[in-house]
Amino acid sequence: MFLLGQTVGKYQILSNLGSGGFGTVLLARDTWIDKKVAIKVPHRQRADFDELLQEPRLLAALDHPNIVGIMTAERLEDTFFIVMEYIKGESLEAVLDREKSLDLARALTYGVQILRGVEHAHEAQILHRDLRPANVLLSESGAIKVADFGTSRFLEKSHATTVIGSPPFMAPEAFQGRAVLASDIYSIGVMLYQMLTGNLPYFSPNPAQIEKLVAQGRCTPPWQRNNQIPREISDIVMKSLAPEVSNRYQHASELLDDLTTAAEIDHTASEMEDIRRRLRAREVPRKGFCWHCRKPLHSRSDTCAFCGEKQ
């Protein structure tokens, strides 16, 4: 590990920005061009060189304003590290720790930017696998940047095969090592839920209990926790959190379309009726299950015949 004040090649180490399960991120200055950069030093320095290059190769395939950009990867003084753009600001996790929940407009603005970055990654068949507030950075200008692709994979098969992620943000299939692109959408749904309500849809100190709760899919809709949330937006979040992959948004672009539409309207009665029509027009008639009692619903039914809950 590099020491504060140390100069490694052309990089002067300035401070420690944070450390996670896969590496430590340092603030450094490129002394040649006098520019601050972020340096990520993976913990597993003895890993195969191709494995070390996996994250920078993934990042090199991406170029989007809502994804932290890569500058280069180097090995100096027997230490491998990745040089990335430095985002001056704070993580979404820090924002939520301080503010608990966000107002509707801000939550939707952040959600749309996260989705734009993830949509770009998904178009390249890159599955993030660890989307959570700690890996979402908010710059001083207000721009959102999705970070930490250390656990990401090119989706060369139908699904990823390793159990990786943070339990409160993992989709049911991710616990089984069968993550797909829709698993990232589930994680974004959890972040939207947390931004809107100040709570996680499911939480327990025991990961096995979280897995059980997630599989059951019985979380309280956001509008019931915060009556300022329009039902249409609450429904969008709940669809993102559907325990069955087939009932969830299949592509980031689909969720982005609905969320963008919802974010652009002024939530008055007449315009809400318009958004209801537009969102319902996207729905494909199919049988499903009541979110409350889990009993079967008829196609197009908006009220459960068993418990009377609106769907």
Which are the catalytic amino acids? 130
Dihedral sign for Cα atoms in the order 288, 294, 297, 300:
negative
* Other Cβ atoms within 10 Å of 161 Cβ, number: 11
The CA-to-CA distance between both ends of the chain, in Å, stands at: 53
Who's near 226: CB < 8 A, 6+ residues apart?
Answer: 101, 196, 197, 198
Q: Which runs of E-coded beta strand occur in the chain?
A: 7-8, 11-19, 23-30, 35-42, 70-76, 79-85, 89-91, 126-127, 136-139, 144-146, 153-154, 288-289, 296-297
Are 160 and 178 a contacting pair, CB within 8 Å?
Answer: yes
Q: Which of 243, 257, 212 is nearest to 119 (CA)?
A: 257
Exposure of 204 by Cβ count < 10 A (0-12 exposed, 13-18 middle, 19+ buried)?
middle
Tokens 């597993």 identify what position? 44
Task: Provide the token pair at 241.
Answer: 């959190």
